[in-house]
Amino acid sequence: TQLLEQSPQFLSIQEGENLTVYCNSSSVFSSLQWYRQEPGEGPVLLVTVVTGGEVKKLKRLTFQFGDARKDSSLHITAAQPGDTGLYLCAGVGYGQNFVFGPGTRLSVLP
d(CA 83, CA 56): 18
Identify the bridge partners of residue 98 per DSSP, sorted by sequence position: 92
Verify binding: residue 43, another protein, rule CB under 8 A: yes
H helices, E strands: number in the chain: 0, 11
d(CA 4, CA 97): 13
Figure out which of the listed residues 24, 48, 62, 73 binds another protein, where binding follows CB under 8 A: 48
Which of 104, 106, 107 lies closest to 6, judged by CA? 104
Residue 97: CB atoms within 10 A of its CB come to 10
Number of residues that bind another protein (CB under 8 A): 24
Figure out which of the listed residues 14, 82, 95, 110 binds another protein, where binding follows CB under 8 A: 95
Residues 12-41 within binding reach of another protein (CB under 8 A): 30-31, 33, 40-41
- Near another protein by CB under 8 A, which window of 54-62, 68-76, 77-85, 97-105? 97-105
Verify binding: residue 62, another protein, rule CB under 8 A: no
Q: Which residues bind another protein (CB under 8 A)?
A: 4, 6, 30-31, 33, 40-45, 48, 88, 90, 92, 95-103
